[in-house]
Amino acid sequence: MLAWPRYFYSAALYALSPLVGWRIWREQVPTYSRLQRLGFEREPRPEGPLIWLHCASVGEVRAAKPLIEALANAYPHHCLLVTTMTATGAQQVQALTHLSPNLRHRFLPLDFPGSAKRFVHHWQPALAILFETELWPNLLHACAAERIPVAVVNGRLSVRAFARYQRFPRLMTQTLENITWLAAKSAVDAERFKTLGLPAERTQVVGSLKFEITSPDNAWEESERLRRSISQPTGKRPIWVAGSTRDGEECHVLAAHRSLRKMFPEALLILVPRHPPRFDDVAHTCEQAGFAVARRSLNQPVTKDTAVYLGDTLGELGMLYAAGDVAFVGGSLVPLGGHNVVEPASLGRFTLCGPSLENFDDVAAPLIEAGALTPVADAEALGKALMDAFSDPATTAQKGAQGQRVVAEERGALARTLEGLARLL
C-alpha cells in the first residue's frame, strides 16, 4: 500500500498525465514502442544477470560513457540496460552499442506505480544505478520491493533542485530510504542529500565522473581532417566552437561572432545546438542574421565566404570542439545551469562560458582557477574575450594546455565508483 506522501505524489502525476503524455509523444524514436513508457515490454528478459543504468538525457549519457564502458569491461557476462527519458539520449546510447554486444537501450517508464512495478519486475536487475539526480519515488520503491540495491552515482543536487526537493520533506525522506549507496560528486552534494534524509553511512564522496571523459579514438584524426577542409589555404583561419547552445542563446553567440569578425573578417563559428529539433530553426536564425551558413548534415562545403558551420549532427561534439581554437559551452548565457565544460578542456581548448554554471560549478572551479575557463557576462563580453583570445594565440594555447592538465589531475572518481558498485554486486 502507498504511504501517504507517495500516494499524493502519484495522484499529482496522474493529474498531470495529459501534459506528460504530450511530452512523451514528442520524445520518441520510431523503432521503439510507446508502451515502454508504461512499463510494458514486448521482448523477453535476456538470460543471466543484468545491470540497469538510468541517464536522463544526452548530456548524462555523454558524462556516463566512461562508466558504461568500464561496466561493460568489468562485467562482460552481464546485460547492461541503459534507460533514458529523451529521444536524443536514446540516440546517444545507440551510438555506444559498439562497446558491448550486451548493451541495450529502453525508455524509462513514467513514474506511475504500476509502470514502475512492471518495469522493475520484468528486468529484475542485479543492481540499479541512477546517474546524478534521477530520484523517482515509485521506481525506487519498486526496486526496494524486489530487494534490488540502488546506487546513485555522480550524485549531485543543484541549489535549484535542492530547494525544490526541500518543499516535500516527507516524500524525499521516504524516497531516499530506498537508496543503498550514494557516490556523491562533492561534499556539498553529500550534505544536501543528508539534509533531505539520506543516512550519512550510505554516502561516499568520490568526485565527479565528468572529469573521466575521454575522446573517441578517431576524434583527433577527424578533427584535423575537418580543420584542413574549412581553413583558408594559409591554415590561419580563426575557428571557434559554440557547443550545446540552447533556445535564446544563439542570438548572443551570433552577436559575439559579428564583433569578432570586425577584427578577424575570416573567423569561422562552428555552431552546435543542443537539441536536433531546433537545427532547422537555428540555421534560419543564422541566415536571417546575415551569415553565410554551411550545414554538416548536408555535407555542404565551407568556403572562404562561409561564416557559420552548423554542426547539426549527433555524437560529434567532441570532434567539433577539437577542430576549433576556442570553445564556448552553451546553456550558460541563458539561466539553465550550463553544460559540460570539461569536454573542451580535456581536448586542450581554452574555454568560455556564460554566468549560469549551477550544474557544473564544482568541475568549473578548478578550471577557472587555472585560467583554462573564463565566464563572461553577456554577448559583448563574449565577443571581447574571443578577440583577446585570437589576438594572443600563444597564451590561448597555454590556457588550453592548463585545462588539459587540470582534467588529468582531477580524475579518479571512476575507479572509486566502480569499487563501490562492486560491493553492491
Pairing state between β 293-295 and 181-184:
unpaired
- Nearest to 96, CA basis, from 77, 108, 80, 76: 80
Task: Sheet containing 373-375: give its strands across.
Answer: 293-295, 308-310, 268-273, 239-245, 326-329, 350-353, 373-375
State whether residue 236 is helix, strand or coil.
coil
Phi, psi of 409 (to 5 degrees): -70, -30
Give the active site residues: 60
Cα(383)–Cα(371) distance, integer angstroms: 18
Q: Which three cell numbers stand for residue 306?
A: 562561409
- Nearest to 124, CA basis, from 185, 203, 45, 61: 45
Q: 28: phi > 0 → left, psi -120 to 50 → alpha, else beta; which?
A: beta
Which residues are paired to 243 by β-bridges? Answer: 272, 329
- Nearest to 85, CA basis, from 116, 115, 58, 124: 58
Cα(120)–Cα(122) distance, integer angstroms: 5
Could you tell me the maximum CA-CA distance found in the chain, to the nearest angstrom? 72
Helix, strand, coil content of the chain in percent (nearest 5) = 50, 15, 35
Cα(260)–Cα(269) distance, integer angstroms: 10
Please work out, in degrees rounded to the nearest 5, the angle formed at the alpha carbon of residue 251 by the alpha carbons of 247 and 256. Answer: 135
Q: How many other CB atoms sit within 10 Å of the CB of residue 355?
A: 14
